[in-house]
Amino acid sequence: MPAAPPAQSGKRAPPKLDLRAFQSSTPTTPRRNFPRHLVDTHMHLWTHEQLATGSVKWPTNEGGLPQLVGPHELAAYGAVVNGGIKLVGGGKSEFRGVVFHDDDDVDGSKGGWDAALSEVDSVCSAALDSTVPLLALVPWAPVHHGRAALALFQSRLLALPSLQALAERLGYAPVKSFRYLLQDSPPGFFQSDSFVDGLKWLGENGYAFDMTLDVTHEETGRTRVLEDAIDAIERVRVGQEGAQQTVFILDHCAKPPLTADPSYPPAASLTAYIAALYQLALLPNVYLKLSALLDSADRETVAAAFAEFSSGEYRRKRKDGAYDRLRSRIGAVLEPAVEAFGESRILSAAWAFEMQLYLDCLTGLGLEGDALDALFEGNARVAYKLGGGAAAT
C-alpha cells in the first residue's frame, strides 16, 4: 500500500461559502427623495387695477427678476403651478393648495383698513371662480394697536360676503394667521405693550402671526431684529397656556445674508444670525418658513443659476456653476436651521427653481421620505391648522 503524500505546508484554500450569507435578510427600500404633496405657504397676488392705481408698487423690473413684472392673478398662478410642479423632484409630487398673504404695500398701515379688506375681498372672489385650492388667508391686521382694534377689524373682515362664501365652500374659516410688516419698523417697535397685547389676542382667538423680519436691514440693527423678536415672543408667552399660545411663523427665514459664498470661519453676520435662530427655536410654537431666500442673494448669481436650471445644466452639479454656489449658500443656512427647528417646525413655500434648490439642500442633509412630506406639506397643515397633518413635536 503506497504511503500517504506528505502534508503540505502553507495556506489552506478558503471554505466555499454560500454567497447568500452575505445578503441582507430584508430588501433595502429605495430612498424617496421627493415629497408626495406640496403646499405653497406664501403667495402674493396683485391685479391690473392695483397696478394702475399704484396700490402695489414693489413688483417692478427695476433691479429685480422678470417674474415680478405685471399682474399676478390667481388664474396665472394656476398655470405656473401646473408647469412648475413638473420640474420639481422629477415631477412626482402632487400640488395640494396655497396660502395667500397680503401684499406688502396694500395694507392698513398705508391705505387704511379699507385697503386691506378690499384685498381680501378681491382674493376670495377670485378663489370662488378658480380651480386653484386656496387653503388659507394671511391678511394684514392692526396688531400694533392691541386687542380692541383687532376685535373691531376682525368683525369687519369676517363680514365680507366673499370670505363667508369661501368659508362655506372650504368647510372652515380660511383666515388662519395675520401679519404686519416688521422689517421696515424701527428697533423695538413690536415690543411695545400694545403690540404684545395684540399678539396675545391672536393666540386667544386661534390665530397665528406671520413675522416678516430682515436681518440684512441696516436701520433695524441687522440681527438686533431677531433679538427683539425673541424678547417679544417671550413677553407674549407670559400667561399663555396650551392651545392659547400664539403660533409664530418666521417668514423668509428672516431674510438671511446670502450674497457671499460660505467660508470658514463663517462670516460674523452669518454666525450671529445662526445663534439667534437657535434661541428662537427654544421657544414653543415657533416655525421657520423657507420662502423668498433668493431675494437675499445677489441678482447676478440668481440669474445665472436660473439659466442653468432652465437648461438642465444644474444636474451636472458643477462646483464652479452658479446653481451649485447658490445651493451652497442656502445650505449654509438650512443645515443649522434644520438642526435647530427639527423636521417638524419648518415650512416651505416656493415653485420650480427655488423649490428645487430647497429640495437639493434638504436631501443633501440626508432628509427623505416622511421628513420631506412634513416640510413641504404636513408642517404647514399643523402651523396653519388646516388639518390632515401630524402634530408637531
3-state helix, strand, coil in the chain (%, to 5): 50, 10, 40
Least confident of 115-119, 129-133, 250-254: 115-119
Whole domain around residue 142: which residue ranges? 33-383
Model confidence at 26: pLDDT above 90: no
Let me know if residue 252 belongs to a domain: yes
How confident is the model over 353-370, as pLDDT tens digits? 999 999 999 999 999 999
What CATH number does residue 241 fall under?
A: 3.20.20.140
What is the residue-wise DSSP string for 96-114? Answer: EEEEEE--SSSSHHHH-HH
The CA distance from 77 to 142, in Å, is 28
Q: pLDDT class for 116, splitting at 50, 70, 90?
A: confident
Model confidence at 23: pLDDT above 80: no
70: left (phi over 0), alpha (psi -120 to 50) or beta: left
Average pLDDT over residues 336-354: 93
Q: How many domains does the chain have?
A: 1
* pTM for the model: 0.86
Of residues 57 and 120, the one with the higher pLDDT is 120
Let me know if residue 344 belongs to a domain: yes
Let me know if residue 4 belongs to a domain: no
Average pLDDT over residues 237-262: 93
Let me know if residue 39 belongs to a domain: yes
| Interstrand relation of 346-349 and 286-291 (parallel, antiparallel or unpaired) | parallel
Of the candidates 79, 184, 165, the residue with the CA atom closest to the CA atom of residue 121: 165
Q: pLDDT class for 125, splitting at 50, 70, 90?
A: very high
Q: pLDDT class for 181, splitting at 50, 70, 90?
A: confident
DSSP state of 393: -
Of residues 45 and 312, the one with the higher pLDDT is 312
Q: Of all residues in the chain, what percent carry a pLDDT higher than 90?
A: 59
pLDDT, residue 390, reads 45
Q: Which residues contact 71 (CB under 8 A, 6 or more apart)?
A: 46, 47, 48, 50, 51
Mean pLDDT score of the chain, rounded to an integer? 85
pLDDT, residue 279, reads 95
Let me know if residue 22 belongs to a domain: no
